[in-house]
Structure 1
Amino acid sequence: MVIIKIIRLFLLCIVFTFSFSFVAKASYTSEEFQESLFEIGYKSIYEALNEGNEYFNQEIVLPVQLPPVAFTHSFGRFENLDGEVNDKYDIEYVNKDTPHNHYKISIQPVKYGIDFRGNLIDQRIKLSDGNEAIYSTKAVNGFNVLVFEKDKFQYILSVDKRISDIATHEILAEIANSIK
């Protein structure tokens, strides 16, 4: 079950990396770029957030802070798949002209969260609320992730490895700490 979730997350990140790279290289206008994401189920962050809040019957709290890189677009998607196991809320921040400026937040109930263990963990970080976050450069190909729990949800903050010198594990921890 855990392996399936990790593989699914890995494949999703690969699809987004290639799709954003293709879209950016195609020199689409901002409107065309936006439409291409709406066609695959993305919508405004807050429209998708409202869907997730209703579905989970609990307010999903988002981080206030973002990584210090330029993004041109942000999108949200609430995935309500068969059963509850894979239901989650995703946010993507991308730059249509700079595909490696890619940041993602995935939020799902803790009871269905991904279990990171062993050699996937690079570092354990203590957050300001006392919870522990796990930082990994190996769990998802092409992305560094910070995983933590807050208010019965598991949060996965992912940044493209190519901006890891700017969006460091310290920055990701600051972002996690910005959730109040």
Structure 2
Amino acid sequence: MNRIIAIFITVFYCTILLTSQANATPVVPPFEKPYIEMGYKSVGEALKECEALNQRELKLPIKLPPMQFTHHLGRCVNDKENYNDELQIEYLHEAQGKNHYNIDVRPIEQRIDFEKSKRGKKRYKLNDGSDALYFSTITPKSRGGFNILVFEKNGWQYRLSVDSRIENQVTVDVLVGIADSLR
């Protein structure tokens, strides 16, 4: 009889423990926490959300910069004024802060005109004959910034950005190659 009571108590305790764990809020690791709080989620979820918002397919480049990333997160920004809708994707490395690469994509109707910027810009030709604009956000007073390649394809404006501290690894030619991997 004592054996049956012991088995019953064990099963009852395990059931309560498993039920409480199933209903618990998932623990978000500290590195991801600020991103999750800002609305970031998986790249696939964010991509689907932006495609639904804009009612059209959004393709991403196949290639990535030749570096390691520990995290890739995305969010779909839905501007209520319908002026700054954007898919934002962050590729990050938890231990190497300079391993930072972004893909930002917005509908062509909401494109940003980078031509008017005062920054030094260079033009590049993509394989399909379209133009890409390359520039940097580094200033003499800044300690860092981003090297950026902007181009338009399939009704979207793409902005590929990489941390300027790794410009020797991720050159403009690498960014152009990434842009050319978009079909």
1:90 matches 2:88: yes
Question: Structure 1 residue aligned with 2:161, among 154, 158, 162?
Answer: 158
TM-fit CA distance, 1:37: 1.6
- Aligned partners of 1:113 and 1:124: how far apart in 2? 17
Q: After TM superposition, what 4+ stretches of structure 1 lie above 6 angstroms from structure 2?
A: none
Equivalent residue runs for 1:130-141 within 5 Å: 130-138=129-137
Q: Say which of 43, 54, 69 aligns to 2:41.
A: 43
Amino acid in the other structure paired with 2:131: E
Task: Report deviation, 1:88.
Answer: 0.6
* Larger relative contact order (Cα-Cα within 8 Å, sequence gap ≥ 6): 1
Question: Which has the larger Rg?
Answer: 2
Give the deviation of 1:139 after TM superposition.
7.8
Alignment of 1:1-180 (within 5 A): 31-117=29-115, 119-138=118-137, 142-180=145-183
Instruction: Give the number of equivalent residue pairs.
Output: 151
Q: Percent identity?
A: 42
Q: Which has the higher helix share?
A: 1
Q: TM-score, normalised by structure 2?
A: 0.78
Checking the alignment, whether the CA contact within 8 Å between 2:47 and 2:76 is kept in structure 1 is yes
Secondary structure, counterpart of 2:30 in structure 1? helix
Write the letter of the residue equivalent to 2:126: L
Q: Which runs of 5+ in 1 are unaligned?
A: 1-29
Partner amino acid, structure 2, of 1:163: I
Q: Does structure 2 conserve the Cα–Cα contact (< 8 Å) formed by 1:121 and 1:134? A: no
TM-score by length of 1: 0.79
Q: Note closer, same or farther for the CA distance 1:82–1:139 as it changes in structure 2 (3 Å cut).
A: farther
Conservation of the 8 A alpha-carbon contact between 1:120 and 1:139 = no
Given that 1:92 and 1:105 are in contact with CA atoms closer than 8 Å, whether structure 2 keeps it comes out as yes
How far apart, in 1, do the equivalents of 2:178 and 2:115 lie? 23
For 1:157 and 1:44, how far apart are their aligned partners in 2? 19
Distance 1:116 1:77 in 2: 23
Match of 2:21 in 1: none
Query: Which residue does the alignment assign to 2:14?
Result: none
Q: Does the 8 Å CA contact 1:145/1:159 hold for their aligned counterparts?
A: yes
Residues 7-47 of structure 1, C-alpha deviation per residue, up to 9 Å, x if partnerless?
xxxxxxxxxxxxxxxxxxxxxxx932123321221000000
Letter in structure 2 aligned against 1:76: G
